[in-house]
Structure 1
């Protein structure tokens, strides 16, 4: 069977729609979402409805947690407040009820799914960091699926596999190309997938709804602007 792992959609409906079309072509049997469904962009309700329609199994990310608990920090509070105010009550409940981690087993492969790390929903596990070494040492499962960095990778450490799902809705790979992971459970191979989409549709929707020009520019460029 094939399993798709996605994350960091960040209210980007058009990116998610294109990724799901690609996953369908890949004939994946299941889809798991490693958090950060909402935030930054302007179509949170549409994204959540698409997740429900496609029976995607999700966990919370740090943005989901912060927005639903009204934790609005000064640097990025504009889109967090906007998202909270524009979410339907039903979709707020959907986010609230999401777990913060999942453990699954497929074809004798035990997989732990988190957003940041096993320790912290907002911890960054970069590919060549000391943190990733510690994570692998302490991992009881065969595979850790993580997200949060928006940089996809597949890394083998201490007979474990650490996989970062990258980002569907806010890539940081110096181009606005959504990315995700496919696992073939028969040969136990992971693959990073890249998908094109019409980024300008998302930018136009953000502009029409009065969201930050900075975040519109970041979306176009596929990187963070300081």
Structure 2
């Protein structure tokens, strides 16, 4: 059997993630008449396709690293637990948004949805900038043999810009989908991200040469000027 090429693996994963996202939102909503979900899915698909195409051309090693994802791919037991909790919370976020749309539990004005979509886009752009500046921005926590400290781009202002972008997208997702109840999943998912960050920092300070010095120069972990 022929081993799939990196591009085919990457595009299959992008397609699978898109199908899962759409299924979770529209099946739970019980209808395709869910314009907030169409807008959100469109943003996600556009961002995913752009990232896949861009980094397959510019940084295939990053794409290969990020194909290994999810709780089962983590080498640390603590990270497996954190990733499992995060996955459940994100799943709950999408399902609650769909159910909210179906049963009309809550709602958001179109202007709020539009602003939230903008915040999701900003979050995805920060993640993209993090990938450009750090080829070792894997989907799992660890230190690669040839890894060096990333200090360019958004890493000049915060130590974990990828998590900053993800947190913005997580927290804006409920409003982007027009659901207040979806924050019951999004807030714990963001908290799991913070716990993951702190656990990862301990590992980086222990195993990545130069990271402790970098952490002393760049004071803020996630929020510029705050934390």
Q: TM-score, structure 1 length as denominator? A: 0.28
Q: TM-score, structure 2 length as denominator? A: 0.28
Q: Which structure has the highest helix share of the two? A: 2
Larger Rg: 2
